[in-house]
Structure 1
Amino acid sequence: MTALPEKRFPSTADRIDRIDRRLTSRLTMRGVVEADLPELLRVDREAFPEEPFHYFELRQSFDIHGDRILVLDDGESLHGYVLFVTTSDGYVNWIKSLAVTPELHGRGLGRRLMLEVLRRLRTEDVHQVRLTVEPTNAAAITLYRSLGFSFEGGVRKDYFGPGEDRFIMTLGL
């Protein structure tokens, strides 16, 4: 029996999906190292083209909170990161940034990063995790709600300055 043409010649979408599955299966999560800073900047610029971190912000975050940055690495380049910072009293942790490169959105990588952060924070006796999210970022809101985060009030107008509205979401641990 002869295979149908679509079976012999997979669509471009099918080939891309297979490549993406191979790539995501190779990704390892690890702590950031200084040599990662240029790649970290690239990931942030791809994920947030309108408002990426400046290099000095990532540099300072690494210098101060280097043990609080996890990256997704395929052995050649980075594809995501999460930056999380605990208050000095150890009670509250803020997720400062979660980013996955656009070509890998929808593959569960943001969830993977967040689950690891939450696992670590539970061992540290952190009581609450907080984050901000742009009100129009439906994918992020859906992710955070699925992890148990809830809204703290309504939209905070101008939270990050004029026109920079945010929701604050919290999760008790």
Structure 2
Amino acid sequence: MRIRTVTEEDLPELHRLDNEVFERNAYPYFVLRQFFDAYGGHLLVIDDGANLLGYVFATAPDDKVSWILSLAVRPGLQGQGLGRRLMGEILDHVRSAGVREVWLTVEPGNDTAVLLYRSMGFLAEDAPREDYFGPGQHRLVMRLTL
């Protein structure tokens, strides 16, 4: 398995993977395309030589701040450390680009993700932000100082 920057040829499979992981909350293809065009160097995938197993997206640094927009690992492969590997790689990547603060949001009930982020040093705000992504779409906002 290797972690690498996404390529344009990866976009159809990336879209399928995103739909498989996030179902009704998956990004439309055109959004993934725009992320690729805008932040391609900050969009990493992990593959086994034949298939994409996961991905992580981060924004390009803006005033030494970056956001993790999404982290996903193919169902059935979760819990094997792939998400931690992807997060470690993207954090190294943005740190080397001069980022000093990384932000992300996570569904408050996604205990596995919250525990991963906490174990990597992210701190959460005191309470989830209600309706962050719209009615009923609450998010826990977390921050890491590098």
Give the TM-score, by structure 1 length: 0.82
The whole-number CA distance in structure 2 between the counterparts of 1:97 and 1:55 is 14
8 A contact 2:6–2:45 mirrored in 1: yes
Counterpart position of 2:122: 149
Among 95, 98, 101, the alignment partner of 2:68 is 95
Give the counterpart letter for 2:32 in structure 1: L
Counterpart position of 1:104: 77
Identity in percent: 53
Matched, 1:31 2:5: yes
* Higher RCO, 1 vs 2 (CA within 8 Å, ≥6 residues apart): 2
Give the counterpart letter for 1:140 in structure 2: A
Paired residues, number: 146
**Per-residue CA distance 1:34-80 (angstroms, 9 max, x = gap):** 00001100111111113111000001111111111000111111010
8 A contact 1:153–1:168 mirrored in 2: no
Structure 2 alignment gaps of length 5 or more: none
- Deviates most, 114-123 or 28-37: 114-123
Secondary structure of the structure 1 residue equivalent to 2:53: strand
Matched, 1:81 2:55: yes
Counterpart position of 2:111: 138
Counterpart position of 2:21: 47
The whole-number CA distance in structure 1 between the counterparts of 2:119 and 2:95 is 18
The whole-number CA distance in structure 2 between the counterparts of 1:167 and 1:104 is 24
Q: CA deviation at 1:86?
A: 3.1
Moved over 3 A (4+): none
Give the counterpart letter for 1:73 in structure 2: D
The whole-number CA distance in structure 2 between the counterparts of 1:37 and 1:156 is 31
Q: Which structure carries more helix by proportion?
A: 1
Task: Output the aligned Cα RMSD.
Answer: 1.0
The whole-number CA distance in structure 2 between the counterparts of 1:152 and 1:127 is 18
Q: CA deviation at 1:87?
A: 4.3
**Greater radius of gyration (CA):** 1
Counterpart position of 2:101: 128
- Deviates most, 35-44 or 114-123: 114-123
Structure 1 alignment gaps of length 5 or more: 1-26
Give the TM-score, by structure 2 length: 0.96
